[in-house]
A and B are shown apart, each in its own frame.
Chain A
Amino acid sequence: SQQGEEDPQALSIQEGENATMNCSYKTSINNLQWYRQNSGRGLVHLILIRSNEREKHSGRLRVTLDTSKKSSSLLITASRAADTASYFCATDAGGSRLTFGEGTQLTVNP
C-alpha cells in the first residue's frame, strides 16, 4: 500500500517559475526522501530530510518537513525544461523498505 500521497498529481508551469509539490504520509518516519524519474526510467535520489529536521536545501531544491502534520513539500526554484519528470516522495518508517507515493508529473514548458 502507498503511504505517501503527492499533490498535485500533475503540474504544468512555464520555465523560470517555481514548482511546489506536496506529500502527505500516515505513520511516524525516520526520514523522508524525494526522487525524480524521467519517463519510465530509473529513479534518481534528490534529497533526504530526517525526522528531526524542518528544512533542507540542495541547489535549486528546498524541502520542508512538518512531522506534526505528517507532510512535506518540495520546491524547485527557477524551473527549466529539463526539470520535466515525475517526482516521488518516499518515507522510511523503519525496517528495510521505502514506501513511495503515487508521484507528481511536472511539465515545464519552454
Chain B
Amino acid sequence: ETGVTQSPTHLIKTRGQQVTLRCSSQSGHNTVSWYQQALGQGPQFIFQYYREEENGRGNFPPRFSGLQFPNYSSELNVNALELDDSALYLCASSLGQGATSGELFFGEGSRLTVL
C-alpha cells in the first residue's frame, strides 16, 4: 500500500451534476497530482498542486478544478459533468517540486460513472 487514500471509491452521477473527489496524500508528501484514466487507456495528467498552489495543468477545461489544503490533502472538483467524464480518477502524491519528476505514489482511484 502507498498510504494514499481516495474517496469515494465508486460513484454515479448524471449529466450536468457536480462531483468532488478527495485524496489524502502519503505522510510527508507535499505534492499531489491528479490523473484521469478512461477505460483501456493510460492516465492523462489533469493538474498538480504543490504547497496549496496549482503547479501545472494538462489539457482539461476550467470545469475541472482543484484544491490542496495545509495538510496536503486535496480535492478534485468537476462541474457540469459530461458523459465523457466517466473514468477512473487517480490521485498521486510525491515529495518536492522541481524540473524532474520522481516516483509517484498512487491511490486506488475513484471510479466515476456519468449517466
Which residues of A are interface residues toward B (Cβ below 8 A)? 1-2, 4, 30-31, 33, 35, 40-45, 48, 88, 92, 94-103
Contacts of A2 in B (CB 8 A): 41-42, 44
Complex alpha-carbon distance, A16 and B45, angstroms: 35
Which secondary structure dominates where chain A touches chain B? loop
The 3 A-B residue pairs with the shortest CB-CB distance, nearest first, are: A96-B56, A100-B42, A42-B106
Contacts of B108 in A (CB 8 A): 41-42
Quote the shortest CB–CB distance from A24 to chain B (angstroms). 14
User: Known: A96-B56, A97-B33. Contact between A43 and B90, CB under 8 A?
Assistant: yes
User: Known: A42-B108, A101-B42. Contact between A30 and B90, CB under 8 A?
Assistant: no
Quote the shortest CB–CB distance from A51 to chain B (angstroms). 10
Quote the shortest CB–CB distance from B43 to chain A (angstroms). 5
Complex alpha-carbon distance, A101 and B41, angstroms: 8
Q: Could you jot down 8 A-B contacts, CB within 8 Å?
A: A4-B42, A30-B101, A33-B104, A42-B109, A43-B104, A88-B43, A95-B56, A98-B33
Is A41 within 8 A of B109, CB to CB?
Answer: yes
